[in-house]
Amino acid sequence: MQAAGCNEMLLATEAGELLEGSQTNFYAIGADGKTVYTAGEGVLEGTVRRLLLEVCEREGIEVVLKPPLLSDATGWSGCLISSTSRLMLPIDELYVPKDGEVSGEGDLVASFENGEGSLASKLREWVREEVESHSTR
């Protein structure tokens, strides 16, 4: 069960490595605003994830295939989730459950500005354009 207003729950290791969502892939954008971190192994390699990795390569954005750490979240410039139904969705706020509860309110870990110039916003747009260019009408 998810708290009201919660869009997705992320799966993490005991070491705080963020692997993926229950229905999505997960990405963190480094403090430099130019590097994308995502788990390289042990996650579903979805179609939208593949598109994102292709877009990053095309745009010269470094991708580090290593799970981002929750403990680093306050230093990220942003983060996103992806799925076939959502495409790319920038995350505005990241919470952790209180007292190990997965329902109810959580503690705010980090919040992100996803304005027009942010890498999260650009990635969302580039992936959307890529999907549209390959769609049939």
Domains of the chain, by residue range, sit at: 10-133
Domain 10-133 belongs to what architecture?
Answer: Alpha-Beta Barrel (3.20)
CB 24 within 8 Å of CB 125: no
Rounded to the nearest 10°, the torsion over CA 113, 119, 121, 126 is 180
The reported pLDDT for the residue numbered 2 is 46
Model pTM score: 0.90
**pLDDT tens string 93-114:** 999 887 766 666 788 999 999 9
Q: Which is nearest to 31 in space by CA: 67, 66, 79?
A: 79
**pLDDT tens string 17-34:** 999 999 999 999 999 999
- Tell whether the model's pLDDT for residue 1 goes beyond 60: no
- Tell whether the model's pLDDT for residue 74 goes beyond 60: yes
Mean pLDDT of 34-50: 94
